[in-house]
Amino acid sequence: MSSVPERGEIDAKDKWALESIFATDADWEAAFEDVRDRIDDLAAYEGRVTESPETLRELLELREDLLRDVATVSTYANLRSSEDTRESEYQAMSARAESLAADARSAASFVEPELQELDESDLEAFVEAEPALAEYEHYFDDVLRGKPHTRSKEVEELLADLSDVTDAASEVYSMLSNADMEFPTVEDPDGEDVEISLGNFTKLQKRPNREFRREVHEAFYDRWTEVRNGVGTALKKSVIKDVKLARARNYETAREAALDGPNVPVDAYDTLVETVRANLDYLHRHADLKAEALDVDDLRMWDLYAPMAAGDPPEISYEEAVGHVVDAVAPLGDAYQERMAEGLDSRWVDVYENRGKRSGAFSAGTYDTQPFILMNYQDDVASMFTLAHELGHSMHSELTNESQPWQYSDYDIFVAEVASTVNETLLTHHLLETVDDERVRRHVLDEYLERFRSTLFRQTMFAEFELRIHEVIEEGGALTPDRFDELYRDLKADFYEPAVVDDRIAREWMRIPHFYYGYYVYQYSTGISAATAIVDRIRTEGEDAAADYREALRMGRSAYPAEVLERAGVDTTDAAYIETALSTYGERLDEMERLIHER
């Protein structure tokens, strides 16, 4: 029987080096107590933020020291809890850390409302009197920009204090889907029992036997029906939370509130949806081509992930994937490439799936730690691309952290998804240009097309779903599991017009954790479009373009996202960058069609 190993069965070299943060849990506990004891130090500055330039500098430095330590404590706890969501000790540690972070945010919540008592000229005078404040000038601009949406000190403190409660729907969903749910076991064509999991579902949907794919599809989505009301309630409450918090801050819609945070114009969202909607013929062509490659009359939902490349998919070991990914980023410069290789040797990555481990993949870390990447590596081409993706995030963090002061060391997701997808795109070029094995090449091309489909088209479909479910609440309607099904089915039918949309796929919304992140997924779509444009420029112009891109990665939050991408050569106000990506997708479809007809 194929089974998922326990955490203790995984080799230490394939686990991330969390001991680099805290050597022991006792050290974490001591740090936790120290941070908790220091939170009250902020209270001495309440009501005094604008007292003098010196007082403001002291407060900002105190807040930085505190929040940096809070981030380290929280990150360690959250990463430990991700290793095995069944471990109650680490779940409790994570919950305590979340509560600590909420307390710290609440204690610091007076800073920005008091800063907003000043105007631009006042702040300029403060900077002139205290030069150390000069590095905060963009931060001050961002604070003043949010003035119309900042409430009184009491309301801001309350909202900050409630943050660990307002995240409840997302946390409940995460625990339900990762820790509590057990998926069925199905028999594969060789008579071997295969346990379905969140981590391997997509891989199983790529198996060549169509009947097996159907059985996996049906068993997987039938299991979700058993928690239908719970998941539906969690998502409904998450949407209501988004709407109420937006209204609390004087926004007309939750979308406006979400996009205003990083200062992304709402028009960018509409441009994405409208441009992709106008070019669904590319996706429909992909679906038709897949039906031809699979030699089926009707493309079904369990066929969507099946590869168009003929033959068994190649196995790509983790070690092989690391070699390919490191080689692929050579166009970004020696320093970038060497730093990535060093990080992989320093156990940035938690490589393999284990029982209870959080599904999917992510990159995490703080200003004071190395990056940490969670993977559920499956020895396939898709996992290799996921590794490249997450390393893009990690390298972005490395370059930003070494170049920016703490207050600018983070970066907005709108930019982050560019960094990750640039690495994926470079990997595609590298593999297609250097690998001689025709079978590998076909599967790489197929992987590129699938990732493009799922990143640009699927995430845009998700973005439209998010918009519609929020509009239901904003217009006074009600969200139920049946309503979610209806809205999702309609979108799936539009986007995948040549395929048969069945009842089970209408429940797909139940397995998407990103819907709890509040207008998050559209940035995957804009990211892949911008990344395509950036890689095209690097391949055409060489080191000058690569230097511009590296500089953009170093900017962090010292500028707004549109300005950061402009530094890399992308104008996000023009739909042309999305159309360029779609054109590239079309060219790859042409190439795949030739390969299908040649076999």
pLDDT, one tens digit per residue, over 449-483 is: 998 999 999 999 999 999 999 999 999 999 999 99
d(CA 107, CA 94): 20
Confidence at residue 116, expressed as pLDDT on a 0 to 100 scale? 93
Tell whether the model's pLDDT for residue 311 goes beyond 80: no
Burial 133-156 (b: 16+ CB within 10 A, else e): bebbeebbebbbebeeebeebeeb
Tell whether the model's pLDDT for residue 339 goes beyond 80: yes
- Homologous superfamily assigned to 228-312+390-599: Oligoendopeptidase f, C-terminal domain (1.10.1370.20)
Which of 51-60, 155-164, 351-360, 549-558 is the least confident region?
Answer: 155-164
Confidence at residue 500, expressed as pLDDT on a 0 to 100 scale? 96
Confidence at residue 383, expressed as pLDDT on a 0 to 100 scale? 93
Confidence at residue 1, expressed as pLDDT on a 0 to 100 scale? 41
Tell whether the model's pLDDT for residue 164 goes beyond 80: no
More confident residue, 491 or 310: 491
The CATH topology of domain 9-165 is Butyryl-CoA Dehydrogenase, subunit A; domain 3 (1.20.140)
Task: List the one residue out of 267, 321, 312 whose CA is nearest residue 430.
Answer: 321
Burial 421-442 (b: 16+ CB within 10 A, else e): bbbbbbbbbbbeeeeeeeebbb
CB 40 within 8 A of CB 81: no
Confidence at residue 162, expressed as pLDDT on a 0 to 100 scale? 83
d(CA 555, CA 411): 8
Please report where in the chains the tokens 């058993």 appear, as a residue: 226
The number of beta carbons lying within 10 Å of the beta carbon of residue 19 is 12
CB 533 within 8 A of CB 423: no
Q: Cα-flanking dihedrals φ and ψ of residue 361, to 5°?
A: -155, 150
Question: Which distant-in-sequence residues (6+ apart) come within 8 Å of 438 by Cβ?
Answer: none
Question: Which distant-in-sequence residues (6+ apart) come within 8 Å of 483 by Cβ?
Answer: 472, 477
Domain definitions of the chain by residue range: 9-165, 228-312+390-599
Under the banding of pLDDT at 50, 70 and 90, the label for residue 429 is very high
Whole-model pTM: value is 0.83
Sheet strand arrangement including 349-352: 349-352, 372-377, 362-364
d(CA 349, CA 342): 12
CB 539 within 8 A of CB 429: yes
CB 512 within 8 A of CB 263: no
Tell whether the model's pLDDT for residue 125 goes beyond 90: yes
Q: Give catalytic residue positions.
A: 390
pLDDT, one tens digit per residue, over 233-258 is: 999 999 999 999 999 999 999 999 99
pLDDT, one tens digit per residue, over 486-510 is: 999 999 999 999 999 999 999 999 9
Element spanning 594, H or E: helix 576-598
Radius of gyration for the chain, computed over Cα atoms and rounded to the nearest angstrom: 24
Q: How far is CA 52 from the centre of its chain?
A: 40
Fold: same for 9-165 and 228-312+390-599: no
d(CA 479, CA 482): 8
Confidence at residue 599, expressed as pLDDT on a 0 to 100 scale? 67
pLDDT, one tens digit per residue, over 399-417 is: 999 999 999 999 988 899 8
Q: In the 8-state DSSP scheme, what is residue 453?
A: I
Query: Mean pLDDT across the stretch 554-571?
Result: 94
3-state SS, residue 352: strand
d(CA 343, CA 598): 42
pLDDT, one tens digit per residue, over 90-108 is: 999 999 999 999 999 999 9
